[in-house]
Amino acid sequence: MNKNSSNIMALAPNTSNKRETVCIFGTGDFGRALGHKMIQSGYPIVFGSRSTQKSSLIPNDAEVLSHAEAAQKAAIIIIAIQRQHYNFLTPLAEILHGKVLVDISNNLKINQYPESNAEYLAQLVPGAKVVKAFNTVSAWALQSGTLDASRQVFVCGDDMEAKQMVMDIVRALGLTPLDQGSLLAAQEIENYPLQLFPMWKLPILLSLGLTAFFFFYCLTRDIIYPYVYENEDFSFFIAISIPNRICPVLALILLALVYLPGVLAAIIQLYRGTKYRRFPDWLDKWMLCRKQLGLVALAFASLHVLYTLVIPIRSFVRWRISSSTVSQALNNKTEPLNNTYAWLSDSYLALGILGFFLFVLLGITSLPSVSNNVNWREFRFVQSKLGYLTLVLCTAHTLVYGGNRFLNPSSYRWYLPNAYMLSLIVPCIVLVVKFVLVFPCLDKPLTRIRQGWERNPKYSE
C-alpha cells in the first residue's frame, strides 16, 4: 500500500497553486517563447540578460536582471543561449552552485562536439545539477501553440530530484516528459532534432535507385529498340507506358523487400541456434525500416492503379482498338473470343484487385492511430499473415500477366527480358524460402529458438 502511494506521489505533477520562480538566461527567441508559455502556466519568470533594458518583446510580467541577480532569485535556471557562449557562466559558478541548470541547446550538426552540450555545461559549472530538456520543442511551436506534433519532451540528468523538478515544469506546460535516463543520453537527445527522416532514408534511396535503373531499362527495350530495328517512334511511352511498367515492378520488389529481412533473420537464427546474438547492423537497419519500405511500395502500387485506369482513354490504345476493328471489318472476319485469354485476363485483374485491397489494408494498419488499437497478436496477424497473402496475390498477378510470354523468344529484346520478369526474382525467392521455413523440421526448432532455447549456449556469452 505504502509502496503504491509513494509511486503515485513520484509520478504526480506538482499540484500546488503557488509556483516557484524560474530564471531564464537569454532573451532570444526561445527564452522569450518559453518565458511567455511559463507565465501563462503560472510561473513567475525572471530573465537573466546581458542588457537589463526591457524590450517590448519580453512578456510584461517578467523581470529582466543581470545574470548574477536573476540567478539568485530562482532554484531552476533555463539556459536559452547557444553553447558557444557558455563560457560566460564560469565566473558565475559560485552563484550557480546547487542550482538546477536546464540545457535546452541544439547544435548545427550531428555529433558536432566530442561531448554533449549538457555534459559540457556540467563541466563548466561542476557544482550545478544539469538537466537536458526542451531541445526538441521549437520556439515557434511554443509561441503559436501548435505543439501537437512535439508534445513529448525528452528529459535526462544525473540528479533525480532536479530531473523531477524539470519534469514537473514540462507537465505544467501541458507537455509530456519522457525520462531518458542519465546525462549520458544527452548526446542522443541533441542529435534527435537534426535527423532528417532517418527511417525513410533507405527506402527512398532504394526506390530512387531502382526507379532510375528500370526507367533506363524500359527506355532501352521499349523505345530505343523499336526505333533502331523498326524505325518506330514510341517516345510518347515515356509519359504513361513506362511509368506504368516501373510502378508495379517497384511495388512488387519493395513489398518483397519488406519480408526478405524476416526470412534472412530466421535463417541466421537457425544457423546460430540462438536468438541471443545481435543481427548484423545492415540487417537491423533494414528490419527497422520495413514499415517505410511497405508504405513506399503502396505508393507505387497506387500509382500503378491510377495509370491503369487511364489506359482506355489513351489515344494510342483507342487507335489500336479502332484499327483492329476496321481491319476485321475490311476482311469481313470477326476474331472469335479466346476463352483461355479471357480467363487469363480476368484472373490477372482479379488478383491485382485483391492484392491491392490487402496492400491498402496493410498500409492502414501500419498507421499509429490504428496499430495502437490492435493487440500484438492482431498486429502480427495483419502484418505477417495478410502481408504474405498480399505478396502471394501480387506475385501471382504478375505471373499471370506474363502468361506464356516467359518462354517466348520474341519477348526478349537485345536478350533483355521484360521488366516484370525481373520484378519476380525477389518475391519468388522470398516466397520459396518462406515456404521451406514452414516445414515442421525447420519451423519447430525456429519457434523454440524464438522462445529462448539455445542449441549451443556459449553463443550467448
Give the binding site for ligand NAP (CB under 6 A): 26-31, 49-51, 80-82, 85, 88, 104-106, 135, 138-139
Question: Coil, strand, or helix at residue 155?
Answer: strand
Contacts with 99 (C-beta within 8 Å, 6 or more apart), sequence order: 71, 74, 75, 76, 77, 128, 129
Q: How far is the CB of 149 from ligand NAP (least distance, A)?
A: 14
Task: Provide the grid cell at 453.
Answer: 532455447
**31 or 363, CB closer to ligand NAP?**
31
CA atoms within 13 A on the CB side of 162: 24
CA distance 92 to 74: 14
**81 or 258, CB closer to ligand NAP?**
81
Q: Which residue type, as a one-letter code, is found at position 255?
A: L
**81 or 260, CB closer to ligand NAP?**
81
CA atoms within 13 A on the CB side of 390: 27
**113 or 379, CB closer to ligand NAP?**
113
Q: How far is the CB of 35 from ligand NAP (least distance, A)?
A: 11
**193 or 226, CB closer to ligand NAP?**
193
Place of cell 563541466: 123
Which residue minimizes CB distance to ligand NAP? Answer: 28
CA distance 102 to 302: 48
**Which residue intervals of 417-458 are DSSP H helices?**
419-423, 425-437, 440-450
CA distance 155 to 273: 39
**52 or 182, CB closer to ligand NAP?**
52
In sequence order, what DSSP letters do the residues of 234-280 get, joined into one string? -GGGGTTHHHHHHHHHHHHHHHHHHHHHHHHHHHHHHHHT-S-SPPP
**16 or 51, CB closer to ligand NAP?**
51
CA distance 434 to 384: 11
Q: How far is the CB of 110 from ligand NAP (least distance, A)?
A: 14
Q: How far is the CB of 107 from ligand NAP (least distance, A)?
A: 7
Q: How far is the CB of 48 from ligand NAP (least distance, A)?
A: 8
Task: Provide the grid cell at 446.
Answer: 525456429
Sign of the Cα pseudo-torsion (252, 257, 263, 267, in order): positive
Q: How far is the CB of 150 from ligand NAP (least distance, A)?
A: 10
Place of cell 546460430: 272
Report the length, in residues, of the chain.
461
Task: Provide the grid cell at 70.
Answer: 536573476
**139 or 264, CB closer to ligand NAP?**
139
Q: How far is the CB of 142 from ligand NAP (least distance, A)?
A: 8
**72 or 211, CB closer to ligand NAP?**
72
Contacts with 269 (C-beta within 8 Å, 6 or more apart), sequence order: 275, 446, 449, 450
Q: How far is the CB of 125 from ligand NAP (least distance, A)?
A: 14
Q: How far is the CB of 65 from ligand NAP (least distance, A)?
A: 11
